[in-house]
Amino acid sequence: MAKSRSSFFLLNMHVTREFSLNFLVSFLFFFFIFFINQILLLVQQIALKSVDVKTILILVLCAIPQFLQYVVPFATLSASSMVLGDLGSANELMALRSSGIPLARVYRVLVICSLFLSAVTFFISDCLMPASSRVYQDILTQVMRELPTFELRPNSTNSVGDVVMRNGEVEGSSISDVLMFTTDSEPYVTVTSPQGSLELIDSVSFLYSLTLEDAAMLLTEDDISRTVSAQGDRAEMFLDFSSQLPQLTQSSPSNLSSAELWPLMQSRRVIRDENVLAFHQQRELALMELAAALRAQDTARADSAISQLEQLGTEEPVHFYYQYYSAEFNKKFALALGCLALTVVSLPISMIRIRHGRLVGFGLSLLIAVSYWYILFASQLKIFDYSFNAGFLMYVPDAVMLLAGVIFLAARKRRAG
C-alpha cells in the first residue's frame, strides 16, 4: 500500500510539473496576444502626448487584469491538452494502463489544477479587476484631461476626434493662418482665418472657444451640390471634446465586484418584475375587452382591442439594466468555471495516439479556445433578446464544453473497451 501511494505521488508530481510548465508557456502566449490587442493601443494613444513613462507603466499594469480573466482559462485548456498529448505520444499513458493504473489518476490531477485556477480566475475578475480599474480610471481621467487638446506649436497640425487644425505662428493662445476642418460627420465644416485664438473655457467638459478674425466658413456634404459658404469679420466657435475620453474610464458593471453587482441586479429585478406584471395585466384587460366586443358584435371595439394586443406583443418586456447586471454578475462565475470546463473537454485527447502530441494538443486547444470565445460572444449578444435572467446565457459555453468532453470521453472509452 505504501509503495502504491508512493507511485501515485510520483505520478501526481510528474503530471503537476508538466502541467505547470505547459501552463506557463501557454499563459505567456495568450497574454502576449491580449497584451498586443488591448494594451499597446493605449500606450500608443498616450505616449504620443509626452506622458511620463511611470504613468504609462502604471496604466498598463492596471489594465492587465481586464484580460487576465480570459488568459487563465485559455492557458489552462492549452496546458491540459499539451500534457495529455505529450504523455500519449511518449506512450506514457499506455504504460500506465498496462500497469493497471487508470487514466482517472491523471485526470484527477488536471481537474484539481483547473479548480485551483478557477479560484484564481474568480479572484482576478471579482477582486483584482475592480480594484485596478478604479486606479486605472482615476489616473487615465487625469491624463486625458490634457490629451484632448490642440498643442499650439508653430506651423503644426493637430487632430482631436474628427477635428483637424493647421496653424502658422503661435504667440501664447494667439495663432495665425488657421485652417480647421472636420472629417467624419456631415455637414463637413472647413474654416479659414488669418488670425485667431484658442482658449480652454471648461476643463471638466473639455470645452474650448476658438475665436477667429476675418473668418470664412464652408459647409459641404457628400452631395457636392449642397454647399453653403459664409464670411464674417469675427467668428466664435465652441469645440466640445468630452466624447474623446476612452470608455475604459467609465465605471461599467464589468469593473464592479460581485458584491457590488448583486444589490444593483436585485433592485433592477424588482423593476423588471413590476414591468412584467403590468404587461400581463394589460394583455388580460385587452383580451377581456376583445371578448366583450365579440359578444356584443362591436367591430370597432374588437379592432381596437386587437390593435392594442398587437402593440403589446407576446414577449415579456426586457429590462436593459437587469439583463446587463445579471450577465456581468454571472460572467465572473462562468469564466472561473471555464477553467474546469475547458480541462474536461481536453480529456479525450488522452484516448488518441498521435505523434508530436504536445504540438497537436496546443493546436487543438487553440481551436477549442476560439470556439469557446465565439459561443461566449454569441451568448452576450443574446442577453437583451429574452426577458428571463440573462445570467444563464453566460454558462452556455461552459455547458457546451463540459457536455462535449463527457460525450467524447465516453465514446472513446466505449470504442477502446
Q: What is the pLDDT of residues 112-144, one digit of tens each?
A: 999 999 999 999 999 998 888 888 777 766 665
Tell me the per-residue pLDDT of 53-70, one tens digit each, with 9 for 90 and over.
Answer: 777 788 788 888 888 999
Give 304: exposed, middle or buried? Use CB within 10 Å, 0-12, 13-18, 19+: middle
- DSSP label at 348? G
Query: pLDDT tens across 320-371, in order?
Result: 888 889 999 999 999 999 999 999 999 888 777 767 778 888 888 899 999 9
Does the structure show a pLDDT above 50 at 407? yes
Side-chain-facing half-sphere of 164: CA atoms under 13 Å = 8
Choice between 40 and 331, residue whose per-residue pLDDT is larger: 331
How far apart CA 375 and CA 393 sit, in angstroms, is 10
Domain parsing of the chain, residue ranges? 2-145+322-416, 156-244
What pLDDT does residue 46 have? 58
Q: Which whole-number Å values give the CA distances from 110 to 138, 242, 279, 335, 337, in the listed order?
A: 40, 49, 49, 17, 14
Give the position of cell 508557456.
Answer: 25
For residue range 152-208, list pLDDT tens digits in order.
Answer: 678 777 766 677 888 888 887 788 888 888 877 677 888 888 888 877 776 556 677
Q: Is the pLDDT of residue 3 over 50?
A: no
Q: Are 60 and 45 in contact (CB under 8 A)?
A: no
Can you tell me which residue has the cell 497640425?
Answer: 157
Is 52 or 146 the better-scoring residue by pLDDT? 52
What value does the mean pLDDT of the chain take? 82
Rounded Cα distance, 31 and 26, in Å: 8
How far is residue 253's CA from residue 174's CA, in Å, rounded to a whole number? 44
Helices (H) and strands (E) in the chain, counts: 12, 7
Select the more confidently predicted residue: 164 or 245. 164
CB within 8 Å of 350: residues ≥ 6 apart? 84, 87, 88, 93, 103, 106, 107
Residue 244 has pLDDT above 70, yes or no: no
| Residues 161, 165, 169, 173, CA torsion sign | negative
